[in-house]
Every structure is written in structure tokens, then in C-alpha cells.
Amino acid sequence: MSISEQQGQQLGLKARTQWSPQLEKCCLLVSANESYEDTARDIAVLTGISVSKSTQQRLVHRHDFPPEAVDFGVKEMSIDGGKVRLRTPKGQRSAWRDYKAVNLHQGCVAAFFRANDALVEWVNQQPLASPVVCLGDGHDGIWNLFAQIAPPVQRLEILDWYHLMENLGQVGGSQHRLDAVETGSMSPL
């Protein structure tokens, strides 16, 4: 069955495609949460339509995911890094790769896979308040990214509580003093 161009426009269909917008949305959503192989299986269960894992992968790679943007002055942000496990053939060691994620508090969250420059460029395109609070874990890689975001006089850099307490424990001092800092009855400085 074929439909006219006008019908396609009314239904929100892309030209020369057999995908419904809803099926494409479902495939992209499930692919974001699990492997393409698991996505293929789950889409078949959820929709009754078989979409192979390689088709799922092609769909994701050809889809344009425009970056989010905020329309207000970002007052706080945090950046953290992590590792993602890439699937490898059975019998081979897992491959782990680094990523960084940034949270523009009360705005949006974005992750960047092996693209620190893109993270910095994207954050600097957002409207940043003055000061903008930058919360990090103390890792040099995180502070090096913050150093490229906004001028230094505009940034207020804060070490997160967990890592502050971890570092205070390494510096030493009496347990009584560390307990006082943790309960808020004494300044850490």
C-alpha cells in the first residue's frame, strides 16, 4: 500500500522510508538503554515488528541528535567522568572507554564520549550566570575542563562533599576534628 505525499506529511512520515515515527522513536529509546542485540529482541516483543540489531545500529548512527540548550543563566553545573563497556566478541577481554557528563543544574544533562573539546564548546555556548558554581570530584581531568569554561573570575569551583571528606581524611588530624567537620559544627579550613 502506498500513500500520497500529502498523506505522508499529515502523518509525519519521512520521504522514502517505511518507518513510522513511533517505531523509530521506540527503537531509539530502547537502543539508548541497552545493546542493539537486546533492543532488537525487546522491540519485537513490544511491537510485534522485527528490526534487526544491525538495523537498530544504523538507525542510531544516521539519526541527528541535536544538542539541548538552556534559555536561562546556568547558575550551577557539575562534571564527572566514567567508563562505558564496549561489547567485544566472546572470549575477548572487555573494552572500556572514558566519557564525561555535564549536568547544567535545573537545565539539562549531556554526555560526551571521548569528546572533551565538544563538551567545553557546548557548555560555553550556554548562557552562564556570574558566578557559575562548578562542582567536581577533584580529579585533574574534571578541573582541566572547568578551566576552559567561562573566565576564572566567573567560576566558583567547589569540591564535592564526598571527596572533600576523603581528602581531609588523607591529610590527617584528629578524629574529633574530622567528625566536627562532617557534622557541620566546624569549618574545614
pLDDT in tens, 136-172: 988 889 999 999 999 999 999 998 888 777 777 777 7
pLDDT in tens, 39-91: 888 888 888 888 898 988 888 888 887 778 898 999 999 999 999 888 888 89
pTM, two decimal places: 0.67
CA atoms of 170 and 164, how far apart (whole Å): 10
Residue 110 predicted with pLDDT over 80: yes
**Residue 89 near residue 59, CB atoms below 8 Å:** no
Q: What is the 3 state secondary structure string of 85-136?
A: EECCCCCCCCEEEEEEEEEECCCEEEEEECCHHHHHHHHHCCCEEEEEEEEE
Question: Structural domain boundaries of the chain?
Answer: 5-62, 78-159
**Grid cell listed for 28:** 531509539
Question: At what angle are helices 161-171 and 175-183 packed, to 10 degrees?
Answer: 170
Q: How many CB atoms lie within 10 A of CB 154?
A: 13
CA atoms of 121 and 101, how far apart (whole Å): 13
**Grid cell listed for 51:** 528490526
